[in-house]
Amino acid sequence: MVWEHFNIDDGDFCNVLEKTSNELCECLYEIGTLTTGKSRVFWGYQIIVYYKGVAITGRSKGYSETYTLALKDCNTQMAEQGLTLLVVGNLSSYSESAMSGPAGYGYIKGKKTGVRIMSTAESDLKA
């Protein structure tokens, strides 16, 4: 029996930059929560980026954190492979509130509405 379950909350495409070739690749991602055990107790947050057939998985454990630590874990693994994830959550102006972070949303300077942490929308990245 599998004790770990990934509950997908969102999924779409994001942009990944290969540093050596400067190639931009559009990759599928999934974002959601992990539960464990027979009763499916919350474990943490997870982001999976599918880059050329390889699943790169970032995780953050516990309620005290949000998707930002899962994104940081994902960034670390991607950097080891010479990749950069081009999403709103990696902008220096990205911030979260206590309510927006666990939902996968945050705010960036110059935008009046919340944006998804994995957004690659041109309007979000330039704000």
pLDDT in tens, the chain (127 residues): 578 899 999 999 999 999 999 999 999 999 999 999 888 888 999 999 999 999 999 998 876 678 999 999 999 999 999 999 999 999 999 999 888 888 899 999 888 888 999 998 765 666 5
CB crowding 42-73: b at 16 or more within 10 Å, else e: ebbbbbbbbbeeeebebbbeeeebbbbbbbeb
What's the confidence (pLDDT) of residue 98?
82
Find the distance separating the first CA and the last CA of the chain, reported in whole Å: 46
Residues in Cβ contact with 2 at an 8 Å cutoff, skipping those fewer than 6 apart = none
- Between CA 16 and CA 24 the distance in angstroms is 6
What's the confidence (pLDDT) of residue 113?
87
